[in-house]
Amino acid sequence: MAHRQPILLIDSPSLYFRAYFGIPESAAKTGDGQPVNAVRGFLDMLAQLVRTRRPDRMICAMDHDWRPAWRVELLPSYKAHRVAPEGGEVVPDTLSPQVPIILEVLDALGIPVVGATGYEADDVLGTLSVTQPGPVEVVSGDRDLFQLVDDARPVRLLYVGRGVAKLDDCDDAAVRARYGVPADRYADFAALRGDPSDGLPGVAGVGEKTAARLIDRYGGLDGILAALDDPGSGFAPGLRAKLDAARDYLAVAPKVVRVATDVPLPELDPTLPTSPADPERLLELAQRWNLAGSCRRLVDALAGDRS
């Protein structure tokens, strides 16, 4: 079925972490002092996205496994610095209790939420981006999702690195302008450059410019590794030595960085509701958690003209 309006695929963890750190706890609390800053910020982000992007469908993706074992097996350093001493992810104590509230509100609104055992939200988004009818707009502050951009479908990344009010609407040309590589080579680029936030060491001495230049010249990691075995391929001796020393890492890193697009997901109806699925429950949640303003703004946005 063809759609004129986009489906918004929401990287929920990316947005609620951003909301948590963007709004002071003191500015958003319940009557008994429980912080709801992440909930308020998340709901306000959704309201603004609905108003400005005018989608006819929306799905919120969740992390059911923020550090999948299959990625750790390939690269033990993957997100290792974010593991709490008692196991699990390091998450602020006052953020964790807010996530179930977000899920309850989304359920009362009728906005679908989906995750998958053994996969991150990124993988859910990757799968939805190739299975849901376009146009597709993925909303995230995660750079890894630049790899999902595909002008042919079309799939765009609404990158919220500067916030939802200043999001970057990225097609393939925008990815090329930002990083010097096409979107479908971003995973190779990221593997070469590395990403400390994910525990990806990268190739020692290879930064963004060198990584982009290598991909432009050799087409991607497969071409780069093949050229390493060719004495006439034109590598500077120092760069050849750095890449050669990183062969084992480069053999696994792209598989870690690449977003899965074949995650088993349940059937979903992504149609964006024009009114809450359960108005009484939404009202009760809004009162209990001091969310009246944010809930009203999102309900008003859903009821607005999106034609």
What is the Cα gyration radius of the chain? 21
In this structure, how many other beta carbons lie within 10 angstroms of the beta carbon of residue 149? 26
Alpha helix positions (H), the chain = 12-22, 37-53, 69-74, 98-109, 121-131, 172-179, 186-193, 208-218, 221-228, 237-245, 247-257, 279-288, 292-303
Query: Residue 253 has what pLDDT?
Result: 92
Query: Residue 2 has what pLDDT?
Result: 59
Look at 188 and 85; give whichever has higher pLDDT.
188
Nearest to 133 by CA among 303, 256, 5: 5
pLDDT class for 162, splitting at 50, 70, 90?
Answer: confident
pLDDT class for 91, splitting at 50, 70, 90?
Answer: confident
Query: Residue 85 has what pLDDT?
Result: 83
pLDDT at 233 exceeding the cut of 80: no
Average pLDDT score over residue span 67-90? 88
Count of CA atoms in the C-beta half-sphere (13 A) of 115: 15
Query: Residue 72 has what pLDDT?
Result: 93
pLDDT at 184 exceeding the cut of 80: yes
Average pLDDT score over residue span 3-23? 94
Query: Residue 305 has what pLDDT?
Result: 66
pLDDT class for 152, splitting at 50, 70, 90?
Answer: very high
Cβ pair 185, 223 in contact under 8 A = no
pLDDT at 94 exceeding the cut of 80: yes
Mean pLDDT of the chain: 93
Phi, psi of 159 (to 5 degrees): -85, 120
Exposure string over 212-238, b if 16+ CB within 10 A, otherwise e: bebbeebebbeebbebbeeeeeebeee
Place of tokens 């809450």: 276
Look at 62 and 239; give whichever has higher pLDDT.
62
pLDDT class for 236, splitting at 50, 70, 90?
Answer: confident
Nearest to 81 by CA among 191, 192, 197, 237: 197
Nearest to 290 by CA among 9, 129, 101, 90: 101
Side by side, the strands of the sheet bearing 136-140 are: 113-114, 57-61, 7-11, 136-140, 155-159, 168-170
Phi, psi of 70 (to 5 degrees): -70, -30
